Amino acid sequence: MPAAKLIAKFKKRLIDQQAELRELEQTSDDASKTVELDQSRVGRLSRMDALQGQAMSQEMKRRRQLELKNIAAALRRIENDEYGFCVKCDEEIATKRLEFDPAAALCIECANKTE
């Protein structure tokens, strides 16, 4: 298991990422709102662009929500002294993997098996 100082560093990163994602969530809500289909006000190509932008915004929102869920789970593992261990095989997760993604729940072997 990573040392307490390292876990504190990962916890801070997770909390910072969580705050950043929540802020993005608030600022991007307008882009994912329903596109108005009034042809007298908006041309067909403009509507298509708006629909594409809406779809992209909705997908980004879905990904942010998934990342927020993963961060919350990692913070729970920290609080329960389970952080740094694979949730599938209970082996230690490599520190380099946690440095790359502090929310990682699986060791590299289990992650490769699930892909």
pLDDT at residue number 55: 87
Residues of the domain holding 73: 4-83
Rounded average pLDDT over 10-20: 96
pLDDT in tens, 83-96: 999 999 999 999 99
From CA 32, how far away is CA 37, in angstroms rounded?
Answer: 15
- For residue 93, CA distances in Å to 65, 100, 114 come to 24, 12, 16
The answer to whether residue 100 is domain-embedded is no
pLDDT at residue number 30: 57
The answer to whether residue 42 is domain-embedded is yes
Query: Which carries the bigger pLDDT value, residue 60 or residue 2?
Result: 60
The answer to whether residue 33 is domain-embedded is yes
- Of 19, 3, 24, 26, the C-alpha closest to 83 is 3
pLDDT in tens, 104-114: 999 999 999 98
Number of structural domains, the chain?
1
pLDDT at residue number 110: 95
- Of 44, 64, 62, the C-alpha closest to 52 is 44
